[in-house]
Chains A and B, each alone.
Chain A
Amino acid sequence: MAITVTRQDPRYDALKKGHNARWPAEDADGASRILLCENAQDVAETLQKLVSAGMRPTVRSGGHCYEDFVANNPGGAILDVSLMDEASAPGGRPPYRMGPGTRLWNGYLELYKRYGVTLPGGSCGSVGAGGHISGGGYGLLSRLHGLTCDWLTAVEILTVDGKGQVVARRVDAEHEPDLFRACRGAGGGNFGVITSYEFEKLPQAPQEVIDANFSFAWAEMTEERFVPILIKFGEYWANRGRDPDTWGMFSVISLAHHANGRFGLSVQFCNPDGTCRDLTVLNEYLDRFSDCGVVATPGDGAGHEGFGARPDAGQLECLGVHTVRRRTWLDATGGDGGGGASMRGKYKSCYMKQGFTEAEARCLYKHMTRTMPGTDLRGSTIGIDSYGGATNRAELAEKTAVAQRASVLKLQPMTFWNDAKEDPGRLQWLRDMYTELYSGPDADPEHKGTPYWNAHYEGCYINYPDIDMLAYDYWPELYYGNQGLYPFLQGVKRKYDPNNIFHHAMSIRA
């Protein structure tokens, strides 16, 4: 039986919300109760009660939903599966099973310690597997090993049939393959409650990695210095970064706003075999930035959230003018990179098929140095992740619900703050930046203001949902492309959730 936390329960205030402190927006928006389930049977019974009572369930694993899709549920209930957090291979051999409540870091630890394998998931260790994998989660090893959902081989899921009855299903490539495909990247809260993920095979975790970091001071930055940095970065991933010998390297520009003082460029490297014996690729990459007036230093956590879990661990090494840190993959991966404290946050996203153009770089410079009277823009940043490599196996577009299989960069503009009074300024800054960036000469003329699919862009990432995109009638195409995936998902929705029990602002609309 699920643990019930009502508004009268002292735990309610802590559990009514997720990671983003903006939600629930008002007390009246909060769910009437939180129902903590410990196993699939709990979930089935609880879900049936909710549906029979006409209540809306929203589903929570790690609580990291960027928008209000879970926490805003007036009169409804949050079905919390965070206690279903086992990651193991029953019997000591594959398939590996992972509960939806498994925090990524805990999952990495379990898989690594027991089997030496890992999931190429995100660097924010407190994110739950439930939403992460179903939305096509990716991370530092995704260039080498693909997306988390690419490795998925079966899903156990509870759906609600046309008569309102809960149905337990185990779906895979042979059994209800349409629903299985939809669970591989369409995003959470759409079709049912996933109670277990299954993987026939998972990649070996790297033995070691090398971290390095460039740090740039805004005080010393000019537009003419800034633009080449972005262009060099993008050019690499659009060209050399396509070669398989580079797939073990992940890099990110954490483009913090001027108000933060500095921004960083970080890299985590290993060879495709999971070792760091041959550093040719890394040297070549670091040297690209030598004429930008900086040299690499050991990753210290300032550049990328996932790189500084144990900044003291490992050994320093000199690579020419650069100093880097060699350490075990586990030391480099641990912690809660990017998780941070629960603050107010707003996020956007963009997939890029090419590097930055000069127009884009200048637009970014303009907005990252913009000042807005009365608005503190510290905590505003754009994560510019290297992408491509194994994520771009085109054949997986038909087998998963992730359509973006040609991008080389993935952007996450975001801003964090504490005081609700700052909401308008923060949101305005982010919208202004995004709208102008995607209204330039590289944007599709018919879809200005968005990174609509064209030769340069590949839309947005559903795990970084942004309700601002609802202003555009074609918003599903931004997230699911224009080659038939969304109509396919609408068919799955009609078939497996005919009553639209699972819905939120950006859920699949049948």
Chain B
Amino acid sequence: MRAGLEGQHEIRVYGIAGERWRLRQVVASAAPVSLTLHPNRRFLYVVNEISRHEGLPTGTVEAYAVDADGKLAFANRRALSLSATEPRHLALSPNGRSALIAVDGGGAYNLLPIGEDGRLGRVTGILKETGHGDTPEHQDGAHPQMVVFDGTERRVLAADKGTDGLTVLELQDGGLRVRQRYALDPGSGPREIILHPAGRWFYVASVDGAVCEYAYDPAGGRILGHVGRVETGAGVTMALNPSGEFLYTADETGVRCWQVNAANGRLAAARSQCESPGGVRAITIENGGSALIALSDTMQGVVRMVIDPLSGRLGRAMLVASAPGLRSIAML
């Protein structure tokens, strides 16, 4: 098994061997901020959070081929549309033929096709957002943060931190159109979305330090409404275990586990929590759901915590790789 990580200007590939990961490869990349694996696991897509590429005001995305040993080989790089600066996140359609980018700086979404060879095509769809929120620090304009396909090949849930809005986007003939706008509380600043495997609800982590649950109609492609809210901490990030039983949130103070109600998706704090690292930038669940992986500024690297399959409780935090400044992780 291999894992791909990134530093400020590089992508790191680790081999996973017990409690210590071994660095296998370092690949230079402008400013990798988001890693996404192709469904066939043979390609990796990287978002570069830059404001200028070849002199033009735009960010870039890159495609890499992943070999049997997990090593990366550069495939191609695409500039995003003009003014699509500081892209933040990329989502792949379930069939791996479309890539949608949330563009934080430029306040936009870009759609790119993906070829059979995994290479990124040129941008075919651009949707420029407008508007702003009430909090000048992070809401001076539209700032799309994350995009998630809703299980179909054509619909996407998007979170915009700058406008306090969720949007259901639709892919149509290589372009993008808005299917639904859903306004959140002013100042909330949605920045992450996780769709529950059941498809009928999703979770939104916000800048205001909360995770909210929303009901979703997967057949009609509509957000039905707000269902619940739990308080977390500032800078919260999330991960859901594959079965959908446990949602983990991490913020500056540590990692918390939430029990997911199988009937309605509501969250309840797990009975017992554990000591966990603070300053977490991102978390993910190891394949199979046996452990949670966190990128911790406090511990300056990658931390692994075993998950109790019954209670969801996390075991002791073990530093498996020293690498400060990591921002995103994808696991093969």
Task: Say whether A and B bind each other.
Answer: yes
Residues of A within 8 A of B (CB): 28, 51, 54-56, 74-76, 160, 162-164, 467, 470-471, 475, 498-501, 503-505, 507, 509
- Chain B min CB distance to A498 (Å): 6
Q: Could you write out 25 A-B pairs with CB less than 8 Å apart?
A: A28-B124, A54-B126, A54-B127, A54-B128, A54-B129, A56-B82, A56-B128, A74-B81, A74-B123, A160-B130, A162-B132, A163-B132, A470-B54, A470-B56, A475-B55, A498-B132, A498-B140, A499-B107, A499-B130, A500-B106, A501-B128, A501-B130, A504-B82, A505-B56, A505-B57
- Chain A min CB distance to B98 (Å): 15
B175 contacts the other chain (Cβ, under 8 Å)?
Answer: yes
- Chain A min CB distance to B203 (Å): 26
B176 contacts the other chain (Cβ, under 8 Å)?
Answer: yes
B142 contacts the other chain (Cβ, under 8 Å)?
Answer: yes
- Give Cα distance in the complex from A393 to B130, angstroms: 40
Q: Is the CB of A499 within 8 A of B141?
A: yes
B289 contacts the other chain (Cβ, under 8 Å)?
Answer: no
Q: Which chain B residues border A504 with CB–CB below 8 Å?
A: 82
B225 contacts the other chain (Cβ, under 8 Å)?
Answer: no
Q: Which chain B residues border A160 with CB–CB below 8 Å?
A: 130
Q: A54-B129, A164-B131 are in contact. Are A503 and B55 (CB under 8 A)?
A: no
B41 contacts the other chain (Cβ, under 8 Å)?
Answer: no
Q: Is the CB of B130 within 8 A of A164?
A: yes
Q: A499-B107, A499-B141 are in contact. Are A470 and B55 (CB under 8 A)?
A: yes
B83 contacts the other chain (Cβ, under 8 Å)?
Answer: yes
Q: A467-B55, A498-B140 are in contact. Are A163 and B130 (CB under 8 A)?
A: yes
- Chain B min CB distance to A379 (Å): 27
Q: Which chain B residues border A470 with CB–CB below 8 Å?
A: 54-56
B125 contacts the other chain (Cβ, under 8 Å)?
Answer: yes
- Give Cα distance in the complex from A158 to B140, angstroms: 21
- Chain A min CB distance to B58 (Å): 9
16 new A-B contacts, CB < 8 A, other than A74-B126, A500-B106, A501-B128, are A51-B130, A54-B127, A54-B178, A56-B128, A163-B130, A470-B54, A471-B55, A498-B140, A499-B128, A499-B129, A499-B142, A503-B57, A505-B56, A505-B57, A505-B82, A509-B57
- Chain A min CB distance to B81 (Å): 7
Q: Is the CB of A162 within 8 A of B131?
A: yes
Determine which residue in B57, B82, B106 has the highest number of CB atoms from chain A within 10 A of its CB, and name it. B82
A-contacting residues, B101-145, CB 8 Å: 106-108, 122-132, 140-142
Q: Is the CB of A500 within 8 A of B131?
A: no
Q: Is the CB of B140 within 8 A of A503?
A: no
Q: Which chain A residues border B81 with CB–CB below 8 Å?
A: 56, 74
Residues of B within 8 A of A (CB): 54-57, 81-83, 106-108, 122-132, 140-142, 175-176, 178
Q: A470-B55, A498-B140 are in contact. Are A56 and B126 (CB under 8 A)?
A: yes
- Chain B min CB distance to A72 (Å): 8
Q: A75-B124, A163-B132 are in contact. Are A503 and B175 (CB under 8 A)?
A: no
Q: Which chain A residues border B130 with CB–CB below 8 Å?
A: 51, 160, 162-164, 499, 501
Q: Which chain A residues border B125 with CB–CB below 8 Å?
A: 75
Determine which residue in A160, A500, A509 has the highest number of CB atoms from chain B within 10 A of its CB, and name it. A500
- Give Cα distance in the complex from A50 to B275, angstroms: 52
Q: A56-B128, A504-B82 are in contact. Are A498 and B141 (CB under 8 A)?
A: yes
In the complex, the chain A residue whose C-beta lies closest to that of B133 is A162
- Give Cα distance in the complex from A396 to B83, angstroms: 32
In the complex, the chain B residue whose C-beta lies closest to that of A68 is B82
Q: Is the CB of B83 within 8 A of A503?
A: yes
- Give Cα distance in the complex from A56 to B130, angstroms: 11
- B interface SS class: loop
In the complex, the chain B residue whose C-beta lies closest to that of A52 is B130
- Give Cα distance in the complex from A505 to B58, angstroms: 9
Q: Which chain A residues border B107 with CB–CB below 8 Å?
A: 499-500
In the complex, the chain B residue whose C-beta lies closest to that of A467 is B55
Q: Which chain A residues border B140 with CB–CB below 8 Å?
A: 498
Q: Which chain B residues border A28 with CB–CB below 8 Å?
A: 122, 124
Q: Which chain A residues border B128 with CB–CB below 8 Å?
A: 51, 54-56, 499, 501
Determine which residue in B54, B123, B125, B141 has the highest number of CB atoms from chain A within 10 A of its CB, and name it. B141
Determine which residue in A51, A74, A499, A509 has the highest number of CB atoms from chain B within 10 A of its CB, and name it. A499
Q: Which chain B residues border A164 with CB–CB below 8 Å?
A: 130-131
Determine which residue in A75, A475, A498 has the highest number of CB atoms from chain B within 10 A of its CB, and name it. A75
In the complex, the chain A residue whose C-beta lies closest to that of B110 is A75
Q: Which chain A residues border B176 with CB–CB below 8 Å?
A: 54
- Chain A min CB distance to B133 (Å): 10
Q: Which chain A residues border B178 with CB–CB below 8 Å?
A: 54
Q: Is the CB of A75 within 8 A of B175?
A: yes
Q: Which chain A residues border B56 with CB–CB below 8 Å?
A: 470, 505
In the complex, the chain A residue whose C-beta lies closest to that of B54 is A470
- Give Cα distance in the complex from A271 to B230, angstroms: 81
Q: Which chain B residues border A509 with CB–CB below 8 Å?
A: 57
- Give Cα distance in the complex from A162 to B83, angstroms: 16
- Give Cα distance in the complex from A54 to B131, angstroms: 11
- Give Cα distance in the complex from A395 to B130, angstroms: 38
Which of B83, B123, B126 makes the CB contact (< 8 A) with A500? Answer: B83
In the complex, the chain B residue whose C-beta lies closest to that of A69 is B82
- Give Cα distance in the complex from A505 to B53, angstroms: 11
- Give Cα distance in the complex from A75 to B109, angstroms: 12
- Give Cα distance in the complex from A500 to B130, angstroms: 9
- Give Cα distance in the complex from A326 to B228, angstroms: 85
Closest 9 CB pairs of A and B: A470-B55, A164-B130, A54-B127, A503-B83, A499-B130, A54-B128, A162-B132, A75-B126, A500-B83
- Chain A min CB distance to B115 (Å): 15
Q: Which chain A residues border B142 with CB–CB below 8 Å?
A: 499
- Give Cα distance in the complex from A500 to B81, angstroms: 13
Q: Which chain A residues border B106 with CB–CB below 8 Å?
A: 500
- Chain A min CB distance to B100 (Å): 14
In the complex, the chain A residue whose C-beta lies closest to that of B57 is A509
Q: A471-B55, A498-B132 are in contact. Are A162 and B126 (CB under 8 A)?
A: no
- Give Cα distance in the complex from A179 to B18, angstroms: 63
- Give Cα distance in the complex from A74 to B128, angstroms: 13
- Give Cα distance in the complex from A163 to B82, angstroms: 21
- Give Cα distance in the complex from A286 to B264, angstroms: 91
Q: Which chain B residues border A501 with CB–CB below 8 Å?
A: 128, 130
- Give Cα distance in the complex from A503 to B122, angstroms: 19
- Chain A min CB distance to B154 (Å): 17
- Give Cα distance in the complex from A112 to B315, angstroms: 86
- Give Cα distance in the complex from A54 to B129, angstroms: 6
Q: Which chain B residues border A75 with CB–CB below 8 Å?
A: 124-126, 175
